[in-house]
Each structure stands twice: as structure tokens, then as C-alpha cells.
Amino acid sequence: MPDSTYKLGVLLNCRQKQRMNNNDILRRIRYAFNIADTKMIETFALGEVKTNRAQVSSWLKKDIDPDYIALPDFQLAAFLNGLITDKRGSREGPKPIPENILNNNIILRKLRIALNLNDTDVLQILDLAGLKISKHELSAFFRKPGQSQYRECKDQVLRNYLKGLQMKYRENKMK
């Protein structure tokens, strides 16, 4: 019996390592767009969150590092709002309030808005990363959760989207 318990523990640990967390998402966005620490701080400020270099540095560390601090949903949402403001300019009216709870669908939508991408652009980015989905599947990610066509964006889709962004934006600049 201890052998099966051990295998279950190993399996659970493997699954936990595969799960994307907010820190991993922030690291991937930073890498894809080659964002410096000072620009990260400015982007958080555009999203109405004051931070400093030490805090940003601890959010960017791997989870095995002793200085690692988990990035809360609110801070990641504020960063994404700041990224939208940075890339597209501030819009009239009140600034958007960062969400307290994020999911992959919201992250996907905010990145799409920040980069001013249409469905075809997003599909091409996913295709760069080797993930092919239909336009209907993609539009289901952007629907409201109560609608019958709504579909939850899984980690695999978001991971491939971030990988595709890296391939499109970072690797094109390096050539």
C-alpha cells in the first residue's frame, strides 16, 4: 500500500509542476516582450499598483527560490491592465479595476486587447506554437461564462498562446 501512496504523491507533484501560475505567466510575458525591470514597475503603476524592483524580482523568481513570492491575481490583473494602457493608450473615463480572481480566459482576453489582435491574429499565434484550433473554439474562450457556447481556456491553450507570442514578438526582434 505505501508504494501506491508514493506513486500517487509523485503523480500529484508532477501535475502541480505542470500547472501554470501567475508568476510563470508574468515571466513569460516579460520574456516575450523583453520588458526590463523599470518598465515592469511602470506597467504595474499604469495598472494602479505601486511596486518596487525587489517585489518584481521576487515575483519573477522560480518557485524553488527562497526569495520567491507568489503573485496574487489582483496584481497580475493590474499588470495586464497596465500593459493594455501601455500598448494602446489610456481610455476615457474611469480606469478599469483589476479583477480579484483571474482565470485563463480573462488573461487571454487582456493580452488580446493589449496587442490589438483579431481572431485571425490569435489563431496565427497559436499556430506558431503548434496548436491548431478553429475560429469557433477561439470565440468560445471570449464569451461570458453563463453562455452555452462558453468554453474554459485550459492551461495548454494559454501556455501555447504565450509561447506563440514569444515566437512572434521576441524571436522576430532578434533576427
pLDDT in tens, 121-153: 999 999 999 999 999 999 999 999 989 999 999
Contacts 24+ apart (CB under 8 A), 40-46: 40/79, 42/82, 42/86, 43/79, 43/82, 43/83, 43/86, 44/75, 44/78, 44/79, 44/82, 45/82, 46/81, 46/82, 46/83, 46/85, 46/86, 46/90
pTM of the model: 0.84
Counting residues of the chain whose pLDDT is more than 90, the rounded percentage is 77
Residue with cell 510575458: 29
Q: What is the pLDDT of residues 62-104, one digit of tens each?
A: 989 999 999 999 999 999 999 999 999 888 888 888 999 999 9
Measure the CA–CA gap between 68 and 172, rounded to whole angstroms: 31
Rounded Cα distance, 169 and 37, in Å: 18
Distance, CA of 99 to CA of 120 (rounded, Å) = 27
